[in-house]
Amino acid sequence: MSYKPSFSDLFDPLVAEKVKKSDFGGLKPENIEEIKKTIKYPEYFGTLDFNEQGKYSNVKNVDGAKNDKGHLGDASFKNLFPQNSKVKTFDLSPNFGTEIDGIQLSELSDEGKNDLALFLETRGLAVFRNQDFRDKGADFAKQFGEYFGPLHIHPTSFSAENHPELLVTFRPEGGEERYAAQFAGATNTANWHSDISFEEYPASFSFFVALEAPPSGGDTVFIDLREAYNRLSPQLQQFFETLTVIHTNYYINEFAKLKNVPARIKADYFTEHPLVRTHPVTGEKALFFSRGFIQRVKGLKPTESDAILNFLESHVTNNPEIQVRATHKGTDARTVIAWDNRFLLHSAIADFLQHKTSARHHYRITVLGEKPYLDTEKTSSNGHSNGSNGHSNGNSSNGGST
């Protein structure tokens, strides 16, 4: 079976014609100003400005591995979970992902941010409740993200007003009419990816800030690529460590052209990354299978590349044992979700569109990490030190205090 890169069907004239006539999940670019009058946080929704066409260049982070803030974190996370604090935690699974209440991200010291980096690099995912982040303003969000490294400007996505570093995702309020439109030509909307893996220096951390969200549904599901690697036989691990994969934004750019969306960065990237990468802080290995941006395996014949990528898609995305679901829990939960893209995939879940709901509106701070590499001198253990054994905060970390 042929492997189809995401959005590659845009080259079918019939599909392209449908795309031209469709909208962004119920959002029409020409209606943005009207939509901004109806949402709670209009400052986090900028218009599409054709004056920004080609205005920006991609950013390098040459010393990203050396400068990763996780190197400065304390293994006990004492600055993130202060002693005698009222922090409540709940592990979404024993292996990765933790829900946290009682910490205000906006108030973290530099030492607390260093611990946060290390926590994300071990647990992978943290879901913070009751945050004041969205009310601090876009300038604050930018400064917070820049502590961890350079920020990414997405070539074609929506962004906050006058802040291209803050990527915006949005689905308007509505009812079952959204369901019919969304699934007229598809059975699901899952788009598993690691953020901006098409870049030479892809994302390390992402911070996903809920502005408005349905009371249930619209969650984000995550996959642990460390465990996906560990589940492979040693022979296949060794073989995959010899492979290089091409990641590209070419098809996303073609989609933007069909929708007449300006490109802040006018470049098609065909970037080479190792299929297995090493984490610069923990030394762990993980598959770097960013399904949404992968085009092919370098140097292989098409049928060989297709066979490997189809196997990886099935192996990585069809195993619920290496997945967790991060719930947004509605607008009033004031949720901020943070994760490490170097070993997690994620996808939004469109399971609320047949119901009457308010808008689903978020912005994302995307921190650039190092250029992916494989350290062949290090061996990855079967089973990672995942922080469930590490964050001693006075509460039960296996099950939490709720």
Q: Give the domains, in start order, of the chain with CATH numbers.
A: 8-48+57-368 (3.60.130.10)
Instruction: Identify the pLDDT of residue 218.
Output: 95
Residue 355 parent element (H or E): none
Identify the CA nearest to 369 among candidates 248, 258, 288, 307.
Answer: 288
In whole angstroms, what is the distance from residue 351 CA to residue 374 CA? Answer: 37
Model pLDDT for residues 82-141, shown as the tens digit of each residue: 988 899 999 999 999 999 999 999 999 999 999 999 999 999 999 999 999 999 999 999
- Res. 262 pLDDT band, cuts 50 70 90: confident
Model pLDDT for residues 43-57, shown as the tens digit of each residue: 999 887 888 889 998
Residue 130 has phi, psi (to 5 degrees) of: 55, 50
Cβ atoms 15, 24 nearer than 8 A: no
In whole angstroms, what is the distance from residue 341 CA to residue 353 CA? Answer: 27
- The angle subtended at Cα 210 by Cα 128 and Cα 119, nearest 5°, is 30
* Max CA separation in the chain (angstroms): 62
Predicted model pTM: 0.93
Identify the CA nearest to 167 among candidates 388, 363, 389.
Answer: 363
In whole angstroms, what is the distance from residue 392 CA to residue 77 CA? Answer: 7
Instruction: Identify the pLDDT of residue 400.
Output: 33
By CB neighbour count within 10 A (0-12 exposed, 13-18 middle, 19+ buried), where does 77 fall?
buried
Model pLDDT for residues 374-397, shown as the tens digit of each residue: 998 765 444 445 554 344 433 333
Model pLDDT for residues 223-250, shown as the tens digit of each residue: 999 999 999 999 999 999 999 999 999 9
Considering only residues 262 and 95, tell me which one the structure prediction assigns the higher pLDDT.
95
